[in-house]
Amino acid sequence: MNALHQYLFDTYRAAQQGTPVPPAPGPHDVGVLRAVRDHRRFERVVAARPARGAVRAALHRWLHPAR
C-alpha cells in the first residue's frame, strides 16, 4: 500500500465517522526535507564539523580513492 491508498482509506474512514479529512499526501514534503537538512547542518556545526559539502566530499572520496 502506498501513501495514496492510505490517504483514500483515511478519507473514507473520516467521511464515515464524521471527523476531519486528513491532509493530502505531498504538500508538506518539501518543508519536511528542508527541516531535516537544516537540522543536520545544525548538528554538524555543533560537532565542529563543516556544515556544507559533506555529500560532495564523500562522493569525491568514493570516486577517487587514495592509492
Residues 6+ away with beta carbon under 8 Å from 4: 25
**Residues 6, 22: Cα–Cα separation, whole Å:** 10
Structural domain boundaries enclosing 45: 3-63
DSSP 51: S
- CA 11-13-14 angle, 5° bins: 65
Express each pLDDT in 20-55 by its tens digit. Answer: 998 887 777 778 888 998 998 899 889 988 778 878
**Residues 27, 40: Cα–Cα separation, whole Å:** 22
Total-model pTM: 0.47
Q: How many domains does the chain have?
A: 1
